[in-house]
Each structure stands twice: as structure tokens, then as C-alpha cells.
Amino acid sequence: MKNLLVARRYAQALLESAGTLQAVEDTARDLESVAAVLNASRELRLLAGSPVVRPARKEAIFRELFGKRVGKGTMDFLAFVIARQREAHLGEIAEQFSLLRDMKSGVVGVEVASALALTPAQEQDLSRALGRATGKGVRLKFTVDPAIRGGLVVRVGDTVLDASVRRQLELLKARFIAGPSTN
């Protein structure tokens, strides 16, 4: 179960600390790297969540794994989180940090799924159009999903804009099943 309150508090503290050091983007990249390794390694997730392994041992392992990959401020933050026995929440903290950073800088995260990979020109055009539509800067994350058959599915926060061929076919099927309209 996610503990968003804990994650948000730690992320907010890190954002304030990184902001005073002018290292918000570097810290964001560091946290994304740590979260990616945690997501990829079941063993590391189990270690992070284990109450049996002492915090000093966990910190030594994290320093060995991430000491040369992340900045000093991020490593100090990881050590702090481990000392407070909140390392099982690192993935959630990274998510919340990213959300808070975007909110503070007036950027909205947008997920775009398409049947085929978009060209750089299409990505740029879409970024500009979504920026105008939202009135904010956009941080795009692209994925390829052949199941949508064509078109795009765009997620902006809780809003989903489904302009996929799959969705159009579903709507057409529903109209055929409903029969002719009496209008």
C-alpha cells in the first residue's frame, strides 16, 4: 500500500533542499535513476523493505550502488531516508518529487501512447499543441502500444483524451449493436 503522505513530506523536504542548492533537475535525474534500479531489482526492493537488515548495512549497500551515480546531496538524502527507516518508500518519494517539481515550475506531465513511434517533428508539434491547450509547459512521456491500432491516447493528469482507432471501432460497434436511431 502506498503511503503518499510520507512520500510527499520527504519529497517536499528534498525539493526545498535541492532548490536552495540550485540542483533540482540533477536531483530529479538522480531519483529517477534510483527508482529505476529499485523497480528493476526485486532483491534491492526486498532489502529496502526488510526490517531485519540494519540501517547501517542498508546505507553501505546504497552507497556502493549509487555513490558514484548520484550527487552528494542525493546520496545524503538516501542516507537520511534509510536512517529514518523509510527506504521502502523511495519509489513513491521519487514520484512525488517529480510531481512537486513539475507543479512548482508550472509544468504538467503528459503520457502519450501511439501505435507507432512518433517522429521528432511529430513529438515537437504535439508538445506545442498540448502546451497551448493546457496553458503550461509539458513534460511528455511517449510509449508505443500497438493495441490502439492508430491515433493517440493522451493522459494529462486524470484526464484521458482517447483519439485511437481502437476507441473509434468500439464506438462504431456500440452504435451497430444499438441499432438505428429513431431521430
Regarding pTM above 0.95, the answer is no
Residue 11: what pLDDT? 94
**CATH assignment at residue 62:** 1.10.520.20
Same domain assignment for residues 80 and 47:
yes
Domain count, the chain: 2
Of the residues 103, 132, 162, the one at which a domain ends: 103
Q: Is residue 25 part of a domain?
A: yes
H or E element, residue 26: helix 24-40
Range of the domain at 157: 107-178
Q: Is residue 183 part of a domain?
A: no
Residue 1: what pLDDT? 41
Distance, C-alpha 168 to centroid of its chain: 28
| Per-position pLDDT tens, the chain of length 183 | 458 889 999 999 999 988 877 789 899 999 999 999 999 999 999 999 999 999 999 999 999 999 999 999 999 999 999 999 999 899 999 999 998 998 888 888 899 999 899 999 999 999 999 899 888 999 899 999 988 888 889 998 788 888 888 888 888 899 889 888 655
Same domain assignment for residues 87 and 113:
no
Residue 181: what pLDDT? 67
* Interatomic CA distance for residues 107 and 175, integer angstroms: 39
* Interatomic CA distance for residues 65 and 83, integer angstroms: 17
Same domain assignment for residues 94 and 114:
no
User: The sheet that has 107-114: what strands, in order across it?
Assistant: 137-144, 107-114, 151-156, 159-164
Question: What number of residues does the chain have?
Answer: 183
Same domain assignment for residues 48 and 97:
yes
According to DSSP, the β-strands at 137-144 and 107-114 are parallel
Categorise residue 135: left if φ over 0, alpha if ψ from -120 to 50, beta otherwise. left
* Interatomic CA distance for residues 120 and 69, integer angstroms: 29
